[in-house]
């Protein structure tokens, strides 16, 4: 075998290994990690709340967009070297985040409501001087009810919130923070089944509460890499039940 062919083969092998390792990490079934959360046998519930939050743990993150693509934007966009983060760790209640949804399902009223919040994005130059503050819209967050009655509530959540950067570029479409899940909630014993996926960025945290009690963790997933915001990259799948 020629040296060039050997090197090519080695590069392919390493590339396949990296892809396999990433998929094996992010495609995790959470069911074995999540135990019943304070719901005793024959203890029906009247309402269930879910809270899903995305955030950037660092105070600043380097602009991942190549310089030649930045040139396709406005003057301030060309000068962006850092995106502002949320500068925090995992927390069920925090004012700093990228996006947050709160869902309340009430079996007595046979109703499910969705509230959604998107915080402003901040952009900085090489000296970390603020250049721009912009907020993305929340129209990409939706709830679709499938079943709503006194015993069972089932719904789908779709979440796609873009980054308000280079939105006018003809050569680059900024990726969004994407996730989706289906939740089946049952009044009897507070049983639930939640199945879905999310991007490998930023950090994702998910919590549940019964009858206005304290929130309990369903999962807390750290940022893997901002590259995994893009559509065709591997996703992190989860399947949770009690």
User: In this predicted structure, what is the pLDDT of residue 23?
Assistant: 36
**For tokens 């892809």, what's the residue?**
19
What pLDDT, on a 0 to 100 scale, did the predictor assign at position 20? 34
Task: Give the residue carrying structure tokens 């709160």.
Answer: 102
Q: Exposed, middle or buried, 36 (CB in 10 Å: 0-12/13-18/19+)?
A: middle
Q: Which of 174, 207, 193 is nearest to 49 (CA)?
A: 207
Per-residue pLDDT of the chain (242 residues; tens, 9 = 90+): 444 434 333 333 333 333 433 332 333 333 333 344 544 445 899 999 999 999 999 999 999 899 999 999 999 999 999 999 999 999 999 999 999 999 999 999 999 999 999 999 999 999 999 999 999 999 999 999 999 999 999 999 999 999 999 999 988 888 899 999 999 999 999 999 999 999 999 999 999 999 999 999 999 999 988 888 888 888 999 999 98
- Name the 3-class secondary structure at 31: helix
SS3 173: coil
The predicted structure's pLDDT at residue 213:
95
Distance between CA 117 and CA 9 in Å, rounded?
48
- In this prediction, residue 46 carries a pLDDT of 96
Sequence spans of domains, the chain: 30-55+98-118+137-241
DSSP 52-109: EEEE--SSEEE--S-HHHHTTS-HHHHT--EEE-------SS-S--SEEEEEEEETTT
Q: Are 134 and 164 in contact (CB under 8 A)?
A: yes
Q: Residue 103's CB: how many other CB atoms inside 10 A?
A: 21
Query: What is the value of pTM for the model shown?
Result: 0.83
Backbone angles phi, psi at 15, to 5 degrees: -65, -40
**pLDDT of res. 42:** 57
């Amino acid at each position: 075998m020629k040296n060039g062919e050997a090197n090519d083969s080695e590069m392919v092998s390493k590339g396949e290994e990296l892809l396999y390792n990433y998929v094996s990490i992010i495609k995790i079934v959470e069911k074995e990690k999540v135990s019943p959360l304070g719901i005793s046998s024959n203890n029906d519930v009247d309402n269930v709340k879910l809270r899903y939050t995305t955030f950037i743990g660092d105070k600043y993150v380097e602009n991942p967009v190549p310089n030649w693509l930045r040139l396709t934007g406005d003057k301030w966009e060309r000068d962006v070297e850092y995106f502002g983060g949320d500068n925090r760790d995992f927390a069920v209640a925090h004012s700093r985040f990228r996006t947050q949804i709160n869902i309340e399902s009430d079996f007595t009223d046979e109703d499910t409501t969705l509230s959604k919040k998107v915080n402003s994005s901040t952009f900085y130059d090489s000296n970390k001087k603020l250049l721009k503050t912009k907020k993305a819209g929340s129209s990409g967050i939706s709830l679709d009810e499938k079943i709503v009655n006194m015993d069972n509530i089932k719904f789908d959540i779709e979440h796609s919130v873009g980054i308000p950067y280079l939105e006018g570029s003809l050569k680059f479409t900024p990726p969004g923070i994407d996730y989706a899940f289906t939740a089946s909630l049952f009044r009897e014993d507070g049983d639930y089944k939640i199945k879905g996926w999310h991007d490998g960025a930023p950090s994702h945290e998910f919590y549940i509460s019964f009858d206005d009690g304290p929130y309990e963790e369903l999962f807390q997933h750290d940022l893997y890499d901002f590259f995994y915001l893009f559509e065709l990259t591997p996703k992190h799948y989860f399947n949770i039940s009690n």
